[in-house]
Amino acid sequence: MEDKWKVVLLGDGGVGKTALCWQFVRGRFTYDPTIEDSFRKHTLVDTQMCALEIFDTAGHDFAVPLREECMRMGDGFVLVYSVDSRRSFEQIRGFYEDIGRVKHPSNPVFILVANKMDMRNEIQVSHGEGLQLAAQYNCQFVETTAKSQKCTSLHPQPESSLWSECTGCVVT
C-alpha cells in the first residue's frame, strides 16, 4: 500500500512555483504556464513508496474560496518567495496566517522556500531574513533555484533538493 500526501505550493505571482513543480516532476526548467494545476509524483521515503499530489496555485487572481479549499485539503505547505522580490517575502505572512486559520486546530507542516537564488545581483531578501522567518514558523528553510535540481544552500544537508526536504517534512 502506498501512502498518499497532498502538498500545496503558495506564494506571490511569478516567484517560480510552477517552475519548481516542473523541475521536480518532469526534470526540466521550461514549462507551460497554467492558471492552476496538480502534479503527481511517486517517491521513496525510507523504505516506503509515497504518492505526492502537488497542487500548484496561481499567485495572482486566485479566488479566495479556491485558495481556502486548497488550504483545507493540504497535508503540507510549501511557502515560496523569490529573493529578488521583497514584496513576495512580505506576502508569506498572509499565506501562513490564512493556513493557520483554515486548518485550525490541526498543526500543518510548512517549508519555507527562497527561490531564484541564481539571480545574485538582484537580491532583495537576505539569507538571514529567510532563516529568521523559518525559525519563527519553526519550519525547514530551503534556498534554491528552479533552474537546477539541487538547493544552493540548505541546512543541514547541502546535497539535498527542495523536494527531498519537502517530502521528508510532509511524510511523517
Ligand X SMILES: Nc1nc2c(ncn2[C@@H]2O[C@H](COP(=O)(O)OP(=O)(O)OP(=O)(O)O)[C@@H](O)[C@H]2O)c(=O)[nH]1
Report the distance separating Cα 63 and Cα 76, nearest Å. 20
Interface with ligand X, residue 16, by CB under 6 A: yes
Which DSSP letter does residue 121 get? G
Say if residues 99 and 77 touch (Cβ distance below 8 Å).
Answer: yes
In the complex, least distance from residue 21 CB atom to Mg ion, rounded to whole angstroms = 8
Pure H helices in 62-141: 64-73, 86-103, 127-137
* Span of 58-66, 97-105, 131-139, 161-169 interacting with ligand X by CB under 6 A: 58-66
- Least Cβ distance, residue 88 to ligand X (angstroms): 9
Q: Residue 91 CB, nearest distance to ligand X (Å)?
A: 11
Partner residues linked to 79 by β-bridges: 10, 112
Using the minimum distance from each CB to ligand X, give the nearer residue, 23 or 171: 23
Sequence length of the chain is 172
Residues 77 and 3: their CA atoms lie apart, in Å, by 17
Stretch that binds ligand X, among 106-114, 115-123, 129-137, 151-159 (CB under 6 A): 115-123
Enter the C-alpha cell of residue 81: 518567495
23 binds Mg ion (CB under 5 A): no
Say whether residue 18 binds Mg ion (CB under 5 A). Answer: yes
Task: Give the range of 37-45, 65-73, 116-124, 130-138 binding ligand X by CB under 6 A.
Answer: 116-124
Interacting residues with Mg ion (CB under 5 A): 17-18
